[in-house]
Amino acid sequence: MPVPPVTGRLQWTDVPTQLRARLEDALDTPVADTATPAGGFGHQLAAALTLECGRRVFVKAAPDDDPLTPANVHEAAVLAALPPGAPAPDLLGIHSTAGWTAVVIAHLDGPHPDLSPASTDAEQAWALLDKLTSSPAPPSYLAAVSTIPSTAASLHGWDELAADPPADLPAAARDRLQQLVELEALWPAHAHGDRIVHGDLRADNMVRDHHRGVTFVDWAHATTGPACIDAASLAPQLVLAEHVPEDVARLLRDHPATANSPETTTAFLVALAGHWHRDARKPTPPGAPGLRAYQHRAAAASLAVIRLRLS
Ligand SMILES: Nc1ncnc2c1ncn2[C@@H]1O[C@H](COP(=O)(O)OP(=O)(O)O)[C@@H](O)[C@H]1O
Ligand SMILES: [Mg+2]
């Protein structure tokens, strides 16, 4: 397997010639141009291909012995099984050859949404989540996600941080460390449910398509769980996008996805914050240079919301 680049993603020209030829064959026209969108921390190929006919498609690809390939295969199964009207692009195909696998997805045209208070994109994302989680996932989706165990239930971090608190742990965490450990310990019992969970919702895993509006991409972590998971994970993202934590706490109290399960929402947020506070302090993994700095910011943002829910 090629060593992943320490900065940036694999490029179209890194994909074996046989797989490129297979894709061009399946798409019925040669690739004229490729563009790697900003966003994400992965090292795999994730590129918009412009075909000679002018049409665009989106492709994710990696070697078969790269752990991202099973994630891409999972994403393909999920995209094929989401109910009609779900805020996701269509799956166009999946191709394996020469020890690599590529997933071809309908191209969405537009920037990442602006989750700041200046835009209505965050409102759109909340509305999509309220709708997506208002009824149980269909059987096709349950079958698609059943092959991969959900990792959401195993989120934690405060237990490890409390055992040996780092010197730079913020006072807001240090002062209520025992309470955070106890709340986080409640999460696994609340983590199961029958709703669709995207599992990795951030602005860079959404595209504001010119026709469809805000649409969720990167369904590689999709699973089932309680309705609140995606909406609660949007909360720290909104703080990072400069919403004041008080407004975000109000959204959590008001939106059906989170309002109907306040204890589960708090337990999830605390477990997520613990995971970020712990992982942010680990060494940088290869191919993801910005990950730890992001986790530090996300850890602080989630704590700002949690403080309001606990006070
Ligand atoms: N269907 C799509 N159409 C257009 N751009 C997309 C599409 N899916 C993802 N992207 C863009 O590509 C980036 C990387 O894709 P993503 O699926 O998030 O891969 P990764 O798992 O590597 O983060 C996203 O941040 C987004 O900007
Ligand atoms: Mg992504």
Between the CA of 215 and the centroid of ligand 2 the distance, in Å, is: 13
The DSSP call for residue 110 is S
Report the alpha-carbon distance of residue 112 to residue 197 in Å, rounded: 20
**Residues with pLDDT less than 70, the chain:** 1-8
Query: Which-ligand-closest: CA of 38?
Result: 1
Residue 84: other Cβ atoms inside 10 A: 5
**What is the Cα–Cα distance from 217 to 223, expressed in whole angstroms?**
14
CATH number of the domain to which 169 belongs? 3.90.1200
Residue 217 CA: which ligand 1 atom is closest? 8
Residue 46 forms part of a structural domain: yes
pTM: 0.94
Which residues, judged by CB distance below 6 Å to any ligand atom, belong to the binding site of ligand 1? Answer: 37, 39-40, 42, 44, 46, 48, 58, 60, 89, 105-108, 112, 204-205, 207, 217-218, 220
> Does residue 3 lie within any of the structural domains?
no
Q: Is the domain of 227 the same as that of 155?
A: yes
Instruction: Give the structural domain span for 213.
Output: 121-310
- Whole-number Cα distances in Å, 54 to 30, 48, 57: 10, 12, 10
Number of domains in the chain: 2
Measured between alpha carbons, how far is 229 from 86 in angstroms, rounded to an integer? 17
Candidate from 11, 59, 92, 218 with most ligand 1 atoms within 8 A of CB, to mutate: 218
Probe ligand 1: pick from 11, 36, 58, max atoms within 8 Å of CB?
A: 58
In a shared domain, residues 96 and 125 = no
Inside any domain, residue 232:
yes
CA-to-CA dists, residue 32 to 17, 60, 97, 214, 263, angstroms = 15, 17, 21, 27, 52
CATH number of the CATH domain containing 19:
3.30.200.20
Looking at residue 295, its pLDDT comes to: 95
Mutual orientation of helices 245-254 and 291-310 as an angle, nearest 10°? 70
Same domain, 69 and 130: no
**What pLDDT was estimated at residue 3?**
34
Q: Are residues 146 and 171 in the same domain?
A: yes
Question: Is residue 127 a part of any domain in this protein?
Answer: yes
User: How far does residue 108's CA lie from ligand 1's centre (Å)?
Assistant: 9
Q: What's the DSSP call for residue 29?
A: S
pLDDT value at position 6? 39
Domain boundary among 106, 136, 169: 106
How far, in Å, from the CA of 204 to the mean position of ligand 2?
A: 6
Verify that 55 and 177 share a domain, yes or no: no
The rounded Å distance from CA 165 to ligand 2 centre is 31
Rounded to the nearest angstrom, the distance between the alpha carbon of 210 and the centre of ligand 2 is: 19
| 278 and 191, same domain (yes or no) | yes
